[in-house]
Amino acid sequence: MVSAIDKGRNGQSYLLSGNWHNLKELKQIILSIKGENRRILVLPAWTGYVGLPFTLLLSALKRQEPLYTKESIMALTHGNKMISSEKAEEELGYSRRSLHETIADSISWFKQSGRLL
């Protein structure tokens, strides 16, 4: 954001992307960070659609945000895998870091804030 303020051009938008990863890859990254090598089943997307009415009903009963939505399933399965940050790299000096590092930092933050055991 600071680079966009300092170096960005008025009226321009900049996408800050990384590499696209599927759920199986995300699972492997998380298990490697935790130092675990256990088998966790990654279900196909259609199972999320089957469970969606129950998820929405439960969230309404608890008066909470749903765990997931139709839109979140669609983003995981049909999201744009080719988003480019080339413009931000060239104009702002943006550089991405590995998803492994980002997830490791996120897990650490959630643990330190008491949101993850």
At residue 1, the pLDDT reads 86
CA angle at 11 for the pair 8 and 16, rounded to the nearest 5°: 55
At residue 117, the pLDDT reads 77
At residue 55, the pLDDT reads 97
13: Cα separation from own chain's centroid:
20
At residue 80, the pLDDT reads 87
CA 15, 113, 48, 50 dihedral sign is negative
Compute CA distances 94 → 8, 17, 82, whole Å. 11, 10, 17
Per-residue pLDDT of the chain (117 residues; tens, 9 = 90+): 899 999 999 999 999 998 889 899 999 999 999 999 899 999 999 999 999 999 999 999 999 999 999 999 999 888 888 899 999 999 999 999 999 999 999 999 999 999 987
